[in-house]
Structure formats: structure tokens, C-alpha cells
Amino acid sequence: MYVPSVTHPIGDFVREWVPKLSAYLPEQLQSQTLDTIVAFLVNAVICIVAVCAVNIGSAPILIYMERKVCAHVQCRLGPMRLGWHGTIQTIADVIKMLFKEVYAPSGADKLMFYLAPLIVLIAPFMVAALIPFDKNLVVSDVSMGIPLIIAVNGFGVLGILLGGWSSNNKYSLLGALRSGAQMISYEISFAMILLFVVMISGSTNLMSITQSQAGTIADWFIFKIPVLGFIGFILFFISSTAEMNRAPFDIAEAEQELTGGYHTEYNGTPFAMFYLAEYIALVTNSALATTCFLGGFHAPCIGVAFVDNYLTMVPGVVWFFAKVFFMIWCYMMVRWTFVRPRVDQLMDFEWKFLLPVNLLLLGAGAAYIVISG
Amino acid sequence: MSTLPPGFRIQRETNTEEFFINMGPQHPSTHGALRLALRMDGETIVELVPHFGYIHRGMEKQAESMSYLQYIALSDRQDYLTAIQNNLGVVIALEKGMNVGVPEKAEYIRVMLQELGRIASHLVFYGCFGGDLGGQTCLLFGFKEREMIHDILEEVTGSRLTTNFFRPGGSRYDVPDTFIPRVKAFLDHLEGAMRDYERFLSKNIIVLERSVGIGILSKEDAIAYGCSGPVLRASGVNFDVRRANPYSIYSQLDFDVPVFQNGDCYDRYKIRIAEIHESMKILRQCIDKFPKEGPWRSKEKPVRLPVGRYYSEIETAKGLYATYVVAATTGEKPYRIHTRGPSFPHIAALNKMAQGHKISDLVTIMATLDPVIPEIDR
């Protein structure tokens, strides 16, 4: 029976204790199969709880962070009243949102309308399950990690299209159509960049991609291949911004044009889910960028033994989240700095610029690998 | 659907390509309660019909039962971004009727507040332009410096937005001693701030992509629709009331009237930035020439206009603002006051500009027209 490999520290612990506990059961009930199944279920529950905790727990932090980053970019202070520097503000907002009455506009397709926010949540949750947070801290260490991520990311479009279409609102529909076109287009270059990473590391497993960046800071993929790695990182940054529907590529919800795009008609909890999905996608995309380019959970060693000793004393998960939050900060700064391109310009940019550059990058990467051996 | 013209009713059997979208009156980018009925082909605008009147308050009718002085306060509520300039427009018309002169110091106070108001309005434009393009940060940047102008206005006039300051023959109060130093300090600050702001938008590739060649208004159309102000001058017509028909002391001041030729959104943006610099130039001249001594208003007398028709026109930040006063009887109340606001013709020309562009471009075009809806509806 397949047992997920999350199992590393906690999983081993569970597998060790389940047989011990089952010894207390009546004789006729005890069996090897039962122990395996129970251990599997217990592990699965632990995994789900862990993924939910990381994802949902990070959303309020990110919303608070976004508000503060945005405020300081705009010469404001941001939330300051509730708690120390407004730290409780987000919780108050979440509570407000959850207690709102949930209603669908007349003429909406109710089933689709309420299904859409749930579908949107699938993608970021599944990606989070594949990310290695530390040497033995990964929910599902599948060998086809990268293709699975590319496949799962497509779910987001489905939810947005459904939500926009079922709202019975022309602005929502326009927003949904825009985001459908945008996300499907940018998925191609998103996948291309991930293929570039696969090509360098020679593996589609996220854990081995991370492990192949072990060593000093120069071994991270962003620096490992001169120039190409950095270009790849920038391209990943651009296409993942578009993939997440974040400004400046937020033409799907373009507040100034479409009053809110696909989620114009949503309120209360369903709206909160769209919101949540947006921020979890931010975490998972940053985590993906960290894993693929910034060395994952490896400490930024500089090759001097004296310094490296201290750096490696810090647990990998701390380094991982430090890098993730750096990436998130970059995404936020970009969001609050640039203006939004028009929908057709965005498509032109993808098909006429980003995709050819990606193909060139793949070719150059292949040439580099052949030459350097 | 009954309020729509026939072309906007969708004929379900014959025509399924085009559809109708109602933009506003509750839409974030219509700058107020303006409704635009859009006939769309996908995301492309086929035709656009503006609907006004959602905040019509009947100001011109109200004016008939008000004294002249009360109408000055009402003019604040028309274009609230250029309130101080509207005040002057009304007051000049009244002065023509009362035949009062204005002392030199009062004229300097007027011109300085005019130009401060112009900068404030153009800063709001800067913010809204950036904000409507999707750069929310610009919005706050523009408003930051505008707050400083409002601080100055508050000190001088007693209120930040609806100033109600000028009176026939001068103004309500003298300016405080701190006025000139504060304006000087503000100008020094704005010099640096404008450099940052221009760097933020003027050369940004996305802004260029989204505004160059978008919403072109030809010279002939601009004149035919009766556009004025920056919108007219961006289309290559050199018309500024301050030059063409000087009022106050503008004829003694040295300033340029920026004129751009293309008439697209980028030119309408650039011209306002250029005008901020011109206003700063005027303000610096006024600071140098500002008379320390002398009366700040002529001898006060009751505001009673003899029978007649009086007309004044001034250049506000938005364009030509004209007031036409008809006094049928000698007294404190007008028979009729008509106001010609600059934003109404601009919105009328919107269809011409927006046709064939995307809905995103409509937002850009609207932002560069810089309309204030309460001034259209009055």
C-alpha cells in the first residue's frame, strides 16, 4: 500500500505508535493491513491540517503585510488602530466578512455561483502540498512534481470562468473572459520556465530540484547558470504575476474598468474565498520561485566556513520562509508601483515577446548544458 | 431599457454580436454619478451615449431666489476641485455690474489663490489619471501635495474645499502674514515632488503604451464641440482666457501657454504637467511682486446690481468658466444666472474620442478629460 512520504518525522512517529496502540485491541481485530490503513489515515489528516494551517494561517499575515507595504509605498501608515500597529485589523475584517449575509444575484446559476470559489481554492492548496519546506517537511514528495503543478494550476482558471459566467453580470463575464485568455496564455510561459528548471536540475521532483541547489549561494539556479538563470527568474516572476492575476496584470478584476471583474457579485464568505485563494496563490508561487531559483530551504552560504557554520545552524524552514516572504515583498512592491497594461497589450506581450524569449532561453539553456557537460 | 435610444436596444434575432453595457452611475471610473450607455462589440466601443442629471441640484434655478452674495457660495459646489476659481468667475461678473475697482494687493491675492487652485486641480488629475490606469499609488501621491495646498487655503479662507472667499472689490479677509512664506515653502517642496511624479508616469512604458495615440481629438472637433482649457490646448489650439481675454492682473505676468499638437491622452496628461510648472512660475513672480502695504479690498458697499446683463469668463483648471448674470431689476437678487462650465462639452466629445477603442481606453480618456460631474449637472 502506498504511504505518502510526508511521513518523515511525524509519519515515522505515527507508524511506530499505531501498531503499539493496536496491541490493546481484541486479537481478532489486529492485523498488519489495519495498522497500515490507520497509519495512512492519521498521516493524511495530519497532512491536511498542516497544509490548511500553513495556507489559511498565512493569509491574514499577508493581508496585513500587503496593507502595510501598500501604505508605506503610498506615504501612509496603514491600519494603526486595532492592536499594536493595527495587527488585529485583519482578524476584525475576516470576522466582518464571515458574518455577512451570503446571497446570489437574481438570475445567477446558484450551483455554479457557489461552486466557483471552492474550485479556485483547489489549485493553491494542492500546490502547497508539493512544496518541500525543509529536508523532511513535505506533504507529498511525488516524482512528477513539476508537471503536477502545471496541471493543477489550470484549476484556477476554471473557478474564475465559472464565477464570472454564473454571476449574470456583464462586467463579471468580461472579467472572466479576460482572465481565461490571460491565464491560459501565461500558463505556457509559466510551464516553459519550469521546464527550464527541470532541464538544469535533471529532475521533476521538487525535493531533488532543491537538493541539487545545495552548497553555496552560487549553486542556486538563479546564479548557477550565468545570466540565463537570472533571466529565467525574471521571466518566472513576470509570468507568475500574470498567472496569479495580480497587478499590474490584474486585468481580470481591473477595478477601474470592470468594477471588480469576475468577483463583482460576490460578497461575504464566497468573496473571502476568492480573496483567500489569491493570497494562498501568492504564497505558493513565491514558494515555487524559492524552490526553483532561490535554493529552497538551503541557507545562503557564501563559502566561508566560519560564516556558513552559523548560517546552517538556522533551520531550513526558517530560511525557506524568509525567502518566500522576500518574494512576496517583491510581488507587493511591483503591484503598488506599476500601472496596468490594456488587455490586448497583455496578450501581445505574452505571445510576441515572453514566449519567444522563453523558447530562446530553453535553447540557450540546452546549449549551456551540452557545452559545460 | 426605455430610457435608451433605439440603437441601444438589442435585437435578439438579428444582431447578437453587439451588446449593451451600462457604465455608471455607480462605477468607480466615471468620476461621480455619470452614466455612460455603451454599445459594445466584444471589448470595443461602437457607440457611447452619456446620461447626465444624477446629481442635478438646480443651482441656476436656486440662484433666482438668492442674493448675489449667496450665489458665490453656491459656485463652490459646482466644480469642487476648482472652487476658488469659480468664486472669482462669479465675482468678476458682479464687479462689472457694480462697477467697483480692485486694489492691487487684492488682485495679487486673487491670482495667487487662482494658481494654487489650478495646481491642486491638476494634482488631482495626476492622481486620477494614474489611478484609472491601475496605479493606485499615483492617486495618493497626487493627493499628498494637494493637501498642502488645502492647508494654505484653510489658513487663508477658513475652509479647505468650498472656499467662498472672493467678494466684489476684494475678498472676505486679508491674507495672514504667514501666507507668502508658506506658499514659497510649498513651491520649493513641489519642485522636487513634481520631478518624482514625472519620473513615475511620464516615461513609464506602460503609460506610454496606454495613452499615446488613444482618444485623439482633432483640432476641428475640439473647436466644434466647444472644448476649452487643457483639452483644447492639447489638440493644438492656442486659446487661454488668461491670454485671449485677460482678467485680473494676468496681463502683467510672464507665463507661457503650453500647447501640444496630437490631442491624444498622453498630450492631455503632459499639458497639465506643463501647466503646473507654469503656475509655479506665476506664483514665484507674484511672491516677488506681492505688495506688503495697501488695502486688500476696495470700500465695502452693498452688492446691488443695476439693470443689465453682465458676463465674465475665466480660465479655471478645467477650462473656460463663464458666468452670465441678468439683472432685470436693480436689487440684491438676479433675474437669472447662467453658468457655462468646462466639463460639459468635454463629456459631449467623449463619444468621438472613445469610438473604436477598448473599454480600458475609455477609462483613460475619461481620466484625461478630468470631468467633475457636479459641475456638469449643477
| CB contacts, 8 Å: B30 with chain A | none
Residue B141 and residue A75: Cβ atoms within 8 Å?
A: yes
Closest Cα in chain B, distance from residue A257 (Å): 6
Give the distance from residue A171's alpha carbon to the nearest chain B alpha carbon, in angstroms.
8
Q: What is the pLDDT of residue B5?
A: 66
Percent of chain B clearing pLDDT 90 (strictly above):
7
Calpha distance A318→A226 (Å, rounded): 27
Q: Give the pLDDT confidence of A150-195 residue by residue, as tens digits.
A: 888 878 788 888 888 888 888 888 888 888 888 888 888 888 888 8
ipTM of the complex: 0.78
Residue contacts between A and B (CB atoms, under 8 Å)? 79
- Residue of A73, A333, A339 to mutate when probing chain B, most B C-beta within 10 A: A339
Mean pLDDT of chain A, nearest integer: 82
The reply to whether A344 falls in a domain is yes
Alpha-helical segments (H) within chain B: 59-63, 68-76, 83-98, 104-133, 136-157, 179-201, 205-211, 219-225, 229-234, 241-244, 265-289, 343-348, 350-354, 359-369, 373-377
Closest residue on chain B to A250 (Cα): B134
User: What sections of chain A are H helices per DSSP?
Assistant: 9-22, 32-73, 89-98, 110-130, 145-153, 155-166, 170-201, 206-211, 221-224, 228-243, 255-258, 268-293, 305-313, 316-335, 343-348, 355-372
In this prediction, residue B324 has a pLDDT band, given cuts at 50, 70 and 90, of very high
Q: Does A85 touch chain B (CB under 8 A)?
A: no
**pLDDT at residue B242, rounded to an integer:** 87
Instruction: Tell me what pLDDT residue B32 has.
Output: 76
A 261-320 near B (Cβ less than 8 A): none
Residues of B with CB below 8 A from A343's CB?
43, 358, 360
Q: Is A66 on the interface with B (CB under 8 A)?
A: no
Query: Distance between CA A345 and CA A353 in Å, rounded?
Result: 11
Tell me the chain A residues in contact with residue B204 when contact means C-beta distances shorter than 8 Å. Answer: 338-339
Look at chain A and count its residues.
373
CATH superfamily of B67-370: Cytochrome-c3 Hydrogenase, chain B (1.10.645.10)
DSSP readout, B171-202? ESSPPPTTHHHHHHHHHHHHHHHHHHHHHHHT
Cβ–Cβ below 8 Å for A75 and B144: yes
Measured in whole angstroms, how far is the alpha carbon of residue B124 from the centre of its chain? 10
Determine the distance in angstroms separating the CA of B154 from the nearest CA of chain A, rounded to an integer. 22
Residue A2 lies in a domain: no
Q: How confident is the model at residue A256 (pLDDT cuts 50, 70, 90)?
A: low
CB pair distance less than 8 Å for A256 and B132: yes
Instruction: Name the residue among B21, B27, B136 with its Cβ closest to that of A170.
Output: B21
Is A256's CB within 8 Å of B209's CB?
Answer: no
pLDDT at residue B11 greater than cutoff 60: no
Q: Could you identify the residue written with the cell 527568474?
A: A233
**Which pLDDT belongs to residue A54?**
81
- Cβ distance B206 to A340 less than 8 Å, yes or no, reads yes
Look at residue B7 in the predicted model and tell me its pLDDT: 62
Structural domain includes residue A333: yes
The reply to whether A15 falls in a domain is: no
Give the chain A residue nearest B26 (alpha carbons). A259
Q: Does the distance separating the beta carbons of B136 and A70 come in below 8 Å?
A: yes
Q: Is B359 on the interface with A (CB under 8 A)?
A: yes
CB B375 within 8 A of CB B79: yes
What is the DSSP code (8-state) at residue A215? S
The Cα of B60 is separated from the nearest Cα of chain A by a number of Å equal to 33
Contact A250 B137 (CB under 8 A): no
Q: Supply the pLDDT for residue A154.
A: 79
Chain B residues with CB under 8 Å of A344 CB are 358
Q: Are B327 and B335 in contact (CB under 8 A)?
A: yes
Residues in chain B: 378
- pLDDT (0 to 100) of residue A8: 55
Q: Is A332 on the interface with B (CB under 8 A)?
A: no
**B104 near B291, Cβ under 8 Å?**
yes
The domain in which residue A290 lies consists of: 104-372
Q: Which residues of B touch A75 (CB under 8 A)?
A: 140-141, 144
Please tell me which of the candidates B206, B358, B363 has its beta carbon nearest to residue A338: B206
**With 0-12 CB in 10 A as exposed, 13-18 as middle and 19+ as buried, what is B153?**
buried
Instruction: Please tell me the distance in Å from B133's CA to the nearest CA on chain A.
Output: 6
Selected residue of B10, B19, B137 to mutate for chain A interface (largest A Cβ count, 10 A): B137
The pLDDT value recorded for residue A254 is 66
Q: In this predicted structure, which of A7-11, A265-269, B87-91 has the lowest mean pLDDT? A: A7-11
Question: Structurally, how many domains does chain A consist of?
Answer: 1
Please check whether residue A311 lies inside any domain of the structure. Answer: yes
Q: Is B377 on the interface with A (CB under 8 A)?
A: no
Q: Is residue A60 part of a domain?
A: no
Q: Do A170 and B138 touch (CB under 8 A)?
A: no
Q: What are the chain B neighbours of A255 within 8 Å (beta carbons)?
A: 28, 134
Buried-exposed string A214-251: b where 16+ CB fall within 10 A, e elsewhere = eebbeebbbbbbeebbebbbebbbbbbbbbbbbbbbbb
Q: For residue A257, what pLDDT is reported?
A: 67
Determine whether the interchain pair B359/A174 forms a contact, defined as Cβ–Cβ distance below 8 Å: yes
Any B CB within 8 A of A340 CB: yes
pLDDT over 70 (residue A373):
no
Q: Which chain B residues are within 8 Å of A336, Cβ to Cβ?
A: 136-137
Domain with CATH 1.10.645.10 in chain B: 67-370
Interface check for B19 against chain A (CB to CB < 8 A): the answer is: yes
pLDDT at A25 over 60: yes
Distance, CA of B16 to chain centre? 40
Residue to test with chain A: of B23, B204, B206, B212, most A Cβ within 10 A: B206
Q: Is residue A115 part of a domain?
A: yes
pLDDT tens for A275-305 read: 888 888 888 889 888 888 888 888 887 877 7
Q: What is the mean pLDDT of chain B?
A: 85
Say if A4 falls within a structural domain.
no
Q: What mean pLDDT comes out for the span A204-211?
A: 85
Any chain A CB within 8 A of the CB of B141?
yes
At residue A335, the pLDDT reads 86
pLDDT at B134 over 60: yes
DSSP secondary structure string for all residues of A251-311: TTT-HHHHTTGGGTT--HHHHHHHHHHHHHHHHHHHHHHHHHHS-TT---B-S-HHHHHHH
Cell numbers 438668492 correspond to: B66
Residue type, B186: F
Chain A nearest CA to B137, separation (Å): 5
The DSSP symbol for A340 reads: P
* pLDDT for the residue numbered A6: 47
Residue A358: helix, strand or coil by DSSP? helix
- In whole angstroms, give the CA distance from residue A100 to residue B288: 60
Q: What's the mean pLDDT in B5-23?
A: 65
| Closest by Cα among B190, B188, B211, B214 to B201 | B211
B60: exposed, middle or buried (Cβ count in 10 Å: 0-12, 13-18, 19+): middle
Question: Which pTM was predicted?
Answer: 0.83
Rg for chain A, CA atoms, rounded: 22
Tell me which residue in A248, A258, A343 faces B206 most closely, judged by beta carbons.
Answer: A248
Q: Is the pLDDT of residue B33 over 80?
A: yes
**Least confident residue range of A28-42, A331-345, B65-79, B98-112:** A28-42
List the single residue in B133, B137, B358 with the smallest CB-CB distance to A340: B133
Q: Which residues of A touch B19 (CB under 8 A)?
A: 170
Q: Do B201 and A70 touch (CB under 8 A)?
A: no
Of A255, A257, A341, the CB nearest to B209: A341
